[in-house]
Every structure is written in C-alpha cells, then in structure tokens.
Amino acid sequence: MNCAVLQFPGSNCDQDAVKAVASTLSLKADLVWHETVDLSAYDLIIVPGGFSYGDYLRAGAIARFSKAMHATVAAAERGAYVLGICNGFQILTEAGLLPGALRRNDHRQFRCDMVELEVVNGATNFTRAYEKSRVTIPIAHGEGNYYVDDEMLKRLEENQQIVFRYASEQSPNGSVANIAGVINERGNVLGMMPHPERAVSERLGSTDGISLFRSILTSWRDGHAS
Amino acid sequence: MASIRVTLKESVLDPQGSAVVHALHSLSFSSVSDVRIGKYMEVAFQAQDEQAARTQVSRMCEQLLTNPVIETYSFTLAEVRE
C-alpha cells in the first residue's frame, strides 16, 4: 500500500502523520507538496491537520483548489482511501468529498484535550480493527463544530456514515449530533476532527489511533487479495 | 468594484455574534437583541457590462468566497473608471 501525506503551506501535522504510518504499519509515507498534480501511485492519501494557507477566507477553502487536492478528488473517484484529519477534514468538506461544513466552536475557545469517542460504525474500511466501542483520541481545534442540515443528518444516519461521535454528553465544539467523524457513501473517504496520528504510542497518552491505521491496511489488503 | 458581504445563514449559530451581544449588554446596551458578524470584501475586476459583472461576482461567491452550506452573500457594484 502506497501512502501519501499532503503538505500545504501551513500544514503542521504532516510529519506526525508520516510517523504514525511508519510506527503503526511499518510503511514509509511520502510527503507530497501541494503543487503535485499526479497522485495515481497512491492507495492512501492523508490530508493532515494544520492551518493550510493560514486558514484565510475559511478553514480549508483555499487548499481545496490546490493541484494536490484536485488529484486527491481524482484518487477518491478511482477508489483510493482518503483520510482527512482536523484541517484535512475541513478541506474535504470544502472540496465536496464529504458532506457538511466545519464552523467555529460554539463556545469560541480553541480546545486542546484528550476526548472519549464512540466508534459508531466499526465496520468501515477505517474502523474495522477496533475491538472496543469507546476510544480516547486527542482533539486540537477552534473550528470543529460540524454542521449539516436536518435532511443531511437523516441521510448520514440512515447510511451509517457517522463513524465517530464525542462520547460525552457535552460536545467539545457544538457539533450537530455530537459528530466527530463522517465517511462518504462509498466508504473510502473519512474525515475526522480528532487526531488519530497523535494517539499511536503510550508516550502520547493513548494508543487508540493505531487501530484506525491498521484498519486501512487490512481493508486495502483484502481489496487486493488475488 | 464589487463590495461583497458574507454572513452565516440565519439558521447557523454565530458564536462571535453571541459574544458581542454579551459584551454590548455588559456596556449597558440592553436593547441589543442580536449581532451577526460576517465578512466584507472588495473585489476589483473588469467586466463588459453590469450583467456580466453580476454573473462573475455570483460565480466567485459560489465557488470560493462563501461556503454555501453555512453562508450566504449579497453584493453591490460600483463602476470605477481608470
């Protein structure tokens, strides 16, 4: 499985993502600059956290039009896995690869914390290795307040596209239905505000991100078993 | 020149606006019931005529300047001759 981690001006979780892939899957992920036009060699594309293009205009709004994101949309269409984390999630919604939008946190504070998540759908390409339904993964964002209208929320629920919810009754950002991560209908694009790449070692305070990366590799291998 | 106002849709919570409401109340402006905070942009560009200018600005707003999931926009045009 060939992995790419996109790198925009302002990305700051790109190296964490590369290291997480190395430590959880023993694979080398390539850092790919935002001007790259061809991602056809990659099976997994990670759109990392940070502040792409300074979050000018809106978080993710400008990154969406980068050459690498055009290539990512094409990759998603041919079935490659795409994982958007934090700013990456914002970019994927702006690009239309995932429904909804991320608004400023309802309490207006930047929130940096370990949070408990409910794995709502443990049968996706990104979650099938999870053996428990509650996991602890850190968040760090000021604009993680997920929004969809009622009609789209109903569709997400019916299609089991809600993958993670914040487990506490009090959402850390005000997201509709406590949503922390959603997947596309086809099941190959996941966006989430929490940072699984920062939860891959006891030294980081949690190892609950490991199963996410392992799920991707297992799913990919199953899809390519001859 | 287009003067563009971008605001969150009425149905979308505006936390910045809520914070400013509280601040105005604490300054004794107790009659304030709502504040909505948006963005103001000035775009200088060229167009054949007014209709073409309107079409261009609408496309700019829909493709980049707003997120139609949560935001709405309005604009005015002013002719600026060099």
Averaged pLDDT of chain A? 96
Average pLDDT over residues A66-91: 98
pLDDT at A69 over 80: yes
Average pLDDT over residues A82-104: 97
At B81 the pLDDT is 81
At A46 the pLDDT is 98
What is the C-alpha separation between A61 and B41, in angstroms, rounded?
15
In this predicted model, what pLDDT tens digit does every residue of A206-215 receive, in sequence order? 999 999 999 9
- For residue B15, the chain A residues in CB contact (below 8 A) are 103-108, 174
Q: From the candidates A98, A109, A147, which should be mutated to test the interface with B, based on the most B CB atoms within 10 A?
A: A147
Place of tokens 């602890």: A136
pTM above 0.90, yes or no: yes
Identify the band that residue A226 occupies on the pLDDT scale cut at 50, 70 and 90.
low
Q: A3-224 has which CATH code?
A: 3.40.50.880
In this predicted model, what pLDDT tens digit does every residue of A7-34 receive, in sequence order? 999 999 999 999 999 999 999 999 999 9
**Residue boundaries of the structural domains of chain A:** 3-224
Any catalytic annotation for residue A197?
yes
At A125 the pLDDT is 98
Any catalytic annotation for residue A3?
no
Quick one: which of A110, A173, A167 has its CA closest to A135? A167
Residue of B49 and A170 predicted with greater confidence: B49
At B44 the pLDDT is 97
Any catalytic annotation for residue A131?
no
CB A84 within 8 A of CB A92: yes
In this predicted model, what pLDDT tens digit does every residue of A132-174 receive, in sequence order? 999 999 999 999 999 999 999 999 999 999 999 999 888 899 9
**DSSP secondary structure string, chain A?**
--EEEEE-TTB-SHHHHHHHHHHHH--PEEEEETT----TT-SEEEE--B-GGGG-SSTTTTGGGSHHHHHHHHHHHTT-EEEEETHHHHHHHHTTSSSSEEE--TT---EEEEEEEEES-TTSTTTTT---SEEEEEEEES--EEE--HHHHHHHHHTT-EEEEESSSS-SS--GGGEEEEE-TTSSEEEESS-GGG-SBGGGTB-TTHHHHHHHHHHHHHHT--
CB A144 within 8 A of CB A165: no
| % of chain A exceeding 70 in pLDDT | 100
In this predicted model, what pLDDT tens digit does every residue of A109-137 receive, in sequence order? 999 999 999 999 999 999 999 999 999 99
Identify the band that residue A224 occupies on the pLDDT scale cut at 50, 70 and 90.
confident
Amino acid at A178: N
Min Cα–Cα distance to chain A from B65, Å: 7
Averaged pLDDT of chain B? 94
Average pLDDT over residues A198-220: 97
